[in-house]
Structure 1
Amino acid sequence: MKKTVLLAFVFTVCVVFSSCNNNNKFQIVKGKVGHLTQKTTIKELETIFKNDSIVKNLSEGSLGSNYFQDDDEYQIYEKGGKHLLTVVPQDQLDTLSTIKSVQIFDERYETQTGITLNSTFSDINLNNEITKIETSLNSATLFIDDLNATIAIDKEQLGLRQFTTQKVSLEQIPDLAKMKSFIVWFN
């Protein structure tokens, strides 16, 4: 009898730690996305995502002649091919650099308030303080200081014509508008 109770207890503890570890893998909080933190270096990506694939899209940095080259990007894919994240370093062409930003591509990543890539504007606005909105030609970008994150919503979702610079207010955004991109900033 004692052996059965002990085995049940050990099993329960294992399940709890396993589920906590799995939750942390997809948790988004200010300064942290899954196992990535503000102190994580680009070199550590290989270890953190050892069971996944990393596609490196490196710029020429200050060494190249193309001044319009984008930042370095490290795209993280699960073994099955699902795009999880895109990581951009603070310093280009430097594996000891820390992370500048992480763009979320997988809906399993979730904030403490339940925001995922599939969340609507209503979900975002209800559970987070949107401190600023910037309008570009194609989208409206919401700034959420609690997470140090930006969420872009396509102007098409807002019922506005693209390629206009018309300002957007919170009241203009439909509750069911979906996000175009979700980026967590580490600076």
Structure 2
Amino acid sequence: MNKLIGLFLLSMILIQCGQDKDTLIAKNQLGKIDKSTSIEELDKIFKNDSVEKFPLNADITREYRVFGVGGKPSLIFMPRVHNDSIKGLELVKIYSSQYKTEKGISTSSTFKDVVDNYSIDKIEPSFSAAILFINELNATISLNKQDLNLDEFDMRKIDQGQIPDEASIMYISLWFE
């Protein structure tokens, strides 16, 4: 009986680990997806999801949007385009909290969670966000400027001390080298 319970628990752990790998954010990789993944492969990977290629009816896809529950994008892929042909993927913007780093960071995490788990290599302002550069992941994390009590178009330098611990993540951009 103990062996049967042990086998059951082991199989549950292995199943859980397999599920986590599909949603793991790692350097140059999102689950099974990396820079060499083609648009055709994305079609197969997300065949059960609502997907939109943008621009519609164009020869070259500039964005590949995967929609989650509620009609909001969960992922936006941007292919690397060279001389009007697609050469793999350049980046993916991650909006869904189901995708997490090995250290548990997702779009439902806070600035404090990021600081506690990763080294922030640089902070840059954009019109609507503070962008955190995380070289360990080859990723950037965008924080809403409203959470920082900064004006939307304020382009002054932002330092780590200005960012409240509870500042929320708008999205994570994972860059493929």
Q: Which moved more, 1:52-61 or 1:24-33?
A: 52-61
Query: Aligned residue for 2:154?
Result: 164
Asked if 2 retains the 8 angstrom alpha-carbon contact of 1:149 and 1:184, the reply is yes
Q: Which amino acid aligns with 2:55?
A: L
Q: Which moved more, 1:177-186 or 1:46-55?
A: 46-55
Query: Aligned residue for 1:104?
Result: 94
Q: RMSD in angstroms over aligned alpha carbons?
A: 2.7
Q: Does 2:42 match 1:45?
A: yes
Structure 1: 4+ residue segments shifted above 4 A = 7-13, 78-82
Could you say what secondary structure the match of 1:119 adopts?
A: coil
More strand per residue: 1 or 2? 2
Could you say what secondary structure the match of 1:97 adopts?
A: strand
Could you say what secondary structure the match of 2:87 adopts?
A: coil
**TM-fit CA distance, 1:106:** 1.0
Pick the structure with greater CA Rg: 1
Q: Does 2:140 match 1:150?
A: yes
**TM-fit CA distance, 1:23:** 0.7
After superposition, the Cα gap between the structure-2 partners of 1:157 and 1:128, relative to the gap in structure 1 and judged at 3 Å, is: same
**TM-fit CA distance, 1:117:** 0.3
- Normalization by structure 2: what TM-score? 0.86
**TM-fit CA distance, 1:135:** 1.2
After superposition, the Cα gap between the structure-2 partners of 1:122 and 1:9, relative to the gap in structure 1 and judged at 3 Å, is: closer
Query: Aligned residue for 1:56?
Result: 53
What are structure 1's unaligned runs of at least 5 residues? 65-70
- Measured in 2, the distance between the counterparts of 1:183 and 1:163 equals 21
Alignment of structure 1 residues 1-187 onto 2, 5 Å? 5=3, 11-58=8-55, 72-78=62-68, 81=71, 83-91=73-81, 94=85, 97-187=87-177
- Measured in 1, the distance between the counterparts of 2:76 and 2:49 equals 13
